[in-house]
Amino acid sequence: MNLLEALGQAIRIPELRRKLLFTLGLLAAFRVLAAITIPGTNPAALNDLFSGNTLLGLLNLFSGGGLQRFTLVALGLNPYINATIIMQLMTVVSVRLKELSKEGEIGRKKITRYTRWLTVPLAMLQAFGYLALFTSTTTPNGAIIQNPTPATEISIILVLTAGTMIAMWLGELITEYGVGNGVSLIIFVGIIGRLPAAIVGYGGTGGTAHIIQIVVMALIAVAVTAGVIEVQQAQRKIPVQSAQRVLNVRTGQASQGRRNFLPLRVNAAGVIPIIFAISIMTFPTIFANLFASSGGWTQSVASWITTNWQATGGNVFLNVVYNAIYFLLVMGFTYFYTAIVFDPVDVADNLKKQSTFIPGIRPGRSTSEYLGKVMGRITLAGALFLAVITVVLPLLTAVLTGVPSTSLYLGGTAILIVVGVALDTMKQIETQLLMRQYKGFIK
């Protein structure tokens, strides 16, 4: 069943139809917020800043284009995502949080509450960073925010923080009462919403040449989408067998426990390593902008970092260094986050408690070592895939089409998010359809 078929069947069921309409309504409300700009900014200066900075383009991607227009939801859900990642990391470090994560629904609600609290200071800190960047940056079209008063700065920080909290609230409402993961759907809609305007705007400025380039990029996007689907769906199935004997009620004879599989995903980390890497790579630029008007040698160093610390700047050597570091960070964080979400020791203990074993492998320590080796090998493929589509694909697309990555961004990150969310949404709808079919059958 494909996505269109699942949607068609869901529309015929009143309960699922209400969920779909509720989800669409909240997504439309978020897009309305993303269209309301904060007064006092210079749109032409913002376009100048974002047109020459690939990293800001990536951050703008996650905000659904709101950052480039400096709207009420300019921060998007980045602070909430970062808070979620930090809480997942703290679950590994803190014994108390690890115990909470194992307490079921009650523990999950407490961790969610802590995540919300952490989102507020992170949003305020990120809003202050962007405000410092936009205040200190001067473009050919003038300053982005010119000489703001302290009251104006505080109001902008509070508005941006409130916008993030509203977006987080909408995402949680979609998750609870709508269809699928609300946070992912909001990011998905933001990316899709930017695509038509970008294609029309770019194709209408260059005549036939730009149309040909857009066709070439569309072919690349189709090929990358096929690759993303293969990797996202790829699994290594580890055969497991239950040691418990099953009693046949009809014959009264006991038979050997059934065989099953333990699926290990090739890309267990999703897009989280990319978010980690982007945060690290943008830190020098944001930090340098704080000293853009300090004077002396600090201003010179800040200006040098702002000019050269990017993927496609004027210095070829620094471009190679930048992309190499970016590539290694994506790979390293893929291994790091996979180790957090998949603990071979815990999996081996759970298999042992369920009287389940891997044929040919002793339960306990040997099983955990075996699972660790297998996961390490398949994670290498997933890490290389993420690094290639994040770092190499935009550069390769720019070489093949002649279109700078900052003019019409075609990164694997956007395709990975769109395809991943579409697949997850389809699975959610199919699961709810299957539940209704079973429910009707029982009645």
At residue 441, the pLDDT reads 40
The whole model's pTM is what?
Answer: 0.77
Identity of the residue numbered 134: F
Task: Name the DSSP letter for residue 74.
Answer: T
In the predicted model, residues of the chain with pLDDT beneath 50 are 254, 439-443
Task: Annotate 366-411 with DSSP letters as a single string.
Answer: HHHHHHHHHHHHHHHHHHHHHHIIIIIHHHHHHHHH---TTTS---
At residue 293, the pLDDT reads 65
At residue 442, the pLDDT reads 42
Distance in angstroms (rounded) separating the CA atoms of residues 324 and 304? 19
Do residues 285 and 305 lie in contact, with contact meaning Cβ atoms separated by under 8 Å? Answer: yes
Which residue, among 60, 185, 82, has the nearest Cα to 130 in the 3D structure? Answer: 60
Which residue, among 274, 162, 220, 200, has the nearest Cα to 400 in the 3D structure? Answer: 220
Domains by residue range for the chain, with CATH: 14-203 (1.10.3370.10), 208-443 (1.10.3370.10)
Contacts of 262 (CB under 8 A, 6+ apart): 237, 238, 239, 240, 347, 351, 358
Do residues 407 and 313 lie in contact, with contact meaning Cβ atoms separated by under 8 Å? Answer: no
Packing angle of the helix pair 365-387, 207-233 (nearest 10 deg):
180
Q: Is residue 142 left, alpha or beta, with left meaning phi > 0 and alpha meaning psi from -120 to 50?
A: left
Do residues 398 and 404 lie in contact, with contact meaning Cβ atoms separated by under 8 Å? Answer: yes
Q: In what order do the strands lie in the sheet with 356-357?
A: 259-265, 235-242, 356-357
For the stretch 119-123, contacts whose Cβ atoms lie closer than 8 Å and that sit 24 or more positions apart, written own/partner, are: 119/79, 119/80, 119/83, 119/164, 119/165, 119/168, 120/161, 120/165, 122/79, 122/82, 122/83, 123/75, 123/79, 123/80, 123/160, 123/161, 123/164, 123/165
Identity of the residue numbered 429: I
At residue 231, the pLDDT reads 85
**Token pair 């210079």 in the structure block, residue:** 42
Distance of CA 165 to the CA centre of its chain: 18
At residue 130, the pLDDT reads 83
Distance in angstroms (rounded) separating the CA atoms of residues 236 and 370? 13
